[in-house]
Amino acid sequence: MPHYRYRALSKAGEIILGDVEAASREDVLRRIEYLGHLPVEAEIAAGNALRAGLSLSGGGLPRPRELTTFLRLLALLLKSGLTVEAALQTLEDDANKAVARFAAGLRAAVSGGDGFAEAMERHASIFEPIYIAMIRAGEASGKLEVVLRAIVEDRTRREQLSQRISSAIQYPMFLVGSAMLILFFFLLFVVPQFESVFTELRGRLNSGAAFALSASTWLRTHLDLFLGSCVAGIVAGWMILRQPVARAGLVGALASMPGIAGPMRDRRTARFIGTLGLLVENGVALPTALKILRDVVTEPRYAAVVDEIHEQVRNGRRFIDALAESDLVPVLAVRMLRVGDETGDLSSIARHAAEFYEQRLAIGLDRLMGAIGPVTIILVSVGIGGLVVSIMSALLSITELAM
């Protein structure tokens, strides 16, 4: 993804410099506006290849879990009475070199007169705008330590959910991958042992044995082409999925598939409501929160819905009424948020609603994986078993002819 260096003007009239990874220049300008700044310029930074190489070699920015640990330690140090600068100086002694360099860079920015939010804003490639907005509100209210703890809890919950989703996907992928390797071995090493016999009886072979023989012959003849195509396909798929637009399209396609649409809806609802409550609870104004939530919703259709709700709220309409007319979240979620809006406790109700939909998502994932696992095993068994039976039946027919 391109690396952009930008310059912006804050509401106080200060010049802010930073760099961020984004899909396009328009995306960079939109992020700057989300943070409440006036964009001045945004250009592709030089040295992208070198920076990417440093990151891949482990000398770049900290990884997501390392960043979460860093924020947790920073919150503890602030709670013990240290200033931000002193806490960051303490964290420079971290055994992890990437974390130590990250803390040193933040301390240098803070020592130079920047706020902690401005220092973190320069690392928007690993730190989301929602957290930067929360930190800015926390600094203004004097509750930075409380905000950091809220960010750590949210990141930890998201990491656990991501790990659960990854674990659920790994088992079917392992089964499919194992089946492909078995099939590859079968066609490359087993079928050639009977090739001379099958060639003589090609006109009398059943369809399964004939297919196995043809596939084996083609695979051995074009092995280099096949392996090269596989590698090229994997690399091309990896590069395409690195693009936010491609990922959003994939998520949108998955969200419309039967059996997956329910968990995807619960995931979107939990993320939207949870982030909304987190932002409002930590002092971020509702219109600003809706602007930031535009990046949380990954499906293009629902992202447009968030933009429409934000525009209606800017024009004076109640948020809950605009949300009720959309299909962004289920009716039950709207009712829960309406109660919070009417009682003046929107953030608390939103947090409880997010927990409810996270639990629903976990149950939906368990049910989905409980169905996908057996179905995958059956399909793999039928595919491989069909080829084996075809080969064995062909061999038995040869034995009958010989008798």
pLDDT digits (tens, 9 = 90+) for 101-138: 888 888 888 887 778 888 888 887 788 878 888 888 88
| CATH number for the domain running over 158-403 | 1.20.81.30
The alpha carbons of the chain give a radius of gyration, in whole angstroms, of: 28
What is the rounded CA–CA span in Å between residue 262 and residue 366?
12
pLDDT in tens, 277-296: 888 887 778 888 887 787 67
* pLDDT confidence band for 395 (50 / 70 / 90): low
- Beginning with the edge strand found earlier in the chain, give each strand of the sheet holding 38-44 in spatial order: 15-21, 3-9, 38-44
Alpha helices (H) along 24-143: 25-34, 48-56, 64-79, 84-91, 97-111, 116-121, 129-141
Taking CA atoms, 117 is separated from 16, 86, 137, 352, in Å, by 11, 16, 9, 28
Q: CA torsion 20→22→27→30, rounded to 10°?
A: -30
By mean pLDDT, which of 55-69, 170-184, 301-315 is the weakest?
A: 55-69
Task: Report pLDDT for 319.
Answer: 87
Q: Look at 355 and 248; give whichever has higher pLDDT.
A: 355
* pLDDT confidence band for 201 (50 / 70 / 90): low
Q: Look at 89 and 124; give whichever has higher pLDDT.
A: 89
Structure tokens at 312: 């209606």
Task: Report pLDDT for 358.
Answer: 85
Taking CA atoms, 224 is separated from 184, 233, 340, 348, 384, in Å, by 14, 14, 62, 59, 24
SS3 317: coil
Share of the chain above pLDDT 90, in %: 0
Question: Is the per-residue pLDDT at 178 higher than 80?
Answer: yes
What does pLDDT average to over the chain? Answer: 78
* pLDDT confidence band for 87 (50 / 70 / 90): confident
DSSP 110-163: HHTT--HHHHHHTBTTTS-HHHHHHHHHHHHHT-HHHHHHHHHHHHHHHHHHHH
Question: Is the per-residue pLDDT at 71 higher than 50?
Answer: yes
Question: Which residues of the chain does CATH 3.10.20 include?
Answer: 1-60
What is the rounded CA–CA span in Å between residue 107 and residue 379?
56
Question: Which residues of the chain does CATH 1.20.81.30 include?
Answer: 158-403
SS3 390: helix
Q: Kind and range of the H or E element at 184?
A: helix 144-185
What is the rounded CA–CA span in Å between residue 353 and residue 360?
11
Q: What is the mean predicted confidence (pLDDT) over 225-245?
A: 83
pLDDT in tens, 359-368: 888 888 778 7
Task: Report pLDDT for 89.
Answer: 85
Question: Is the per-residue pLDDT at 305 higher than 80?
Answer: yes
* pLDDT confidence band for 255 (50 / 70 / 90): low
171: how many CB neighbours lie within 10 A of its CB?
Answer: 13
Task: Report pLDDT for 276.
Answer: 85
Question: Is the per-residue pLDDT at 171 higher than 70?
Answer: yes
Q: Which CATH class is domain 1-60?
A: alpha beta
Kindly report the pTM of this predicted structure: 0.62
Q: What is the mean predicted confidence (pLDDT) over 251-267?
A: 75
Is 123 within 8 Å of 43 (Cβ atoms)? no
Question: Is the per-residue pLDDT at 351 higher than 80?
Answer: yes
